[in-house]
Amino acid sequence: MENFNRLNDLYFKKLLGDKKRKNLTLSFLNGVLNKDDKNYFTDISFLDKDNEPLTLDGKLSKLDIRADLNDGTQVDIEVQVCPFKLMAERSLYYWSKMYSEQLEKGAEYKKLKKAIAINLLAFDYLEDEQEWHNIYNLLNVKSHKKLTDHIEIHFLELPKFTLKDMRKIRASEAWLAYFSGKYSKEELEEIAMTTPAIKEAVEFEDTFLQNKIERRAYEQREKAIRDYYSYMNAFKEEGLQQGLEQGLQQGLQQGLQQGMQKGLYQQAIQTAKNMLKDKVDIKLISKYTNLSAEEIKKINEE
């Protein structure tokens, strides 16, 4: 199937959240967590009670796979397709729940095990980071020494991912290549030479798409995501128009200053673009948007 979305919540859950294919989940985790033969995870127990993906507002996925590994390590894999600005806060919140839920009332702290949160993102989130895989721990701000190895949060950003050398590919890169959708079936077959689990994933994908019921459910979820984006784009355009009209009525300068104080710098830029299209003088645009004349000239050139 052309343009098949492997991050579709239904498909992802079927692929890596089913005990029938736990060998694939272990391959993914051992790759992402850079495990070698000495500390390789050998078994996993899924903690999800429901095989169906979780949903947000009845439409979009807030998907996670919760599991115990053979050494007691807790892991949470979350897939986020739609851009979400508070991913760090949300990931830390779910990590804290996963960590605290290990102890029953009266239990000793020494029973606590490491908890790992893995966020697989279909969008750029960490603007100041160039790498596609970033790991966060709890460190001393001066010495950078780790306080404990019990907390570990990973962010995998698919838009930043590109294979550098097909011949020297790591397991984590093989899985990111698979989920990115940037590589053909032929290229994935070559990747599978070093990571056999990818071949099994591709075979399961073919079986999944041949099932009419599964494919229909997949298409419905894809439609929900498209509808979400359409709604948000329409809402944004309507909001900008309403904001501009309200600003004109109440005083553009006051309205836009308040907006910029709230971090709505992009809205000021959009307003400047609209006024430039209407041939409004740059000095007047600067007055109403608080953008400098140099910024407005740059916008006009672009």
Strands (E) located in the chain = 44-46, 55-56, 60-61, 63-69, 74-80, 115-121, 133-139, 146-157
Tokens read off for 257: 């200053």
Q: What is the pLDDT of residue 288?
A: 66
Among 83, 210, 49, smallest CA distance to 158 is for 83
What is the residue whose two structure tokens read 């645009």? 285
Q: What is the pLDDT of residue 93?
A: 92
For residue 38, the tally of other CB atoms under 10 A from its CB is 5
Q: Would you put residue 3 in left (φ > 0), alpha (ψ -120 to 50) or beta?
A: left
Tokens read off for 292: 């400098």
For residue 50, pLDDT over 50 is answered with no
- Please state which of the ranges 40-44, 75-79, 103-107, 198-202 shows the lowest mean pLDDT: 103-107
In whole angstroms, what is the distance from residue 84 CA to residue 87 CA? 6
Q: What is the pLDDT of residue 96?
A: 93
Q: What is the pLDDT of residue 48?
A: 65
For residue 208, pLDDT over 90 is answered with yes
Contact 70, 42 (CB under 8 A): yes
Q: What is the pLDDT of residue 59?
A: 41
Q: Which stretches of 171-211 are DSSP H helices?
A: 171-180, 185-191, 196-210
Look up the pTM and report it.
0.72
Kindly report, residue by residue over 78-135, the tens digit of the pLDDT. 998 888 889 999 999 999 999 998 888 778 899 999 999 999 999 999 999 999 999 9
Max mean pLDDT among 82-86, 145-149, 222-226, 249-253 falls in 145-149
Contact 44, 18 (CB under 8 A): no
* Rg of the chain (C-alpha set): 24
Max mean pLDDT among 29-33, 104-108, 192-196 falls in 29-33
Q: What is the pLDDT of residue 248?
A: 57
Tokens read off for 142: 């001066």
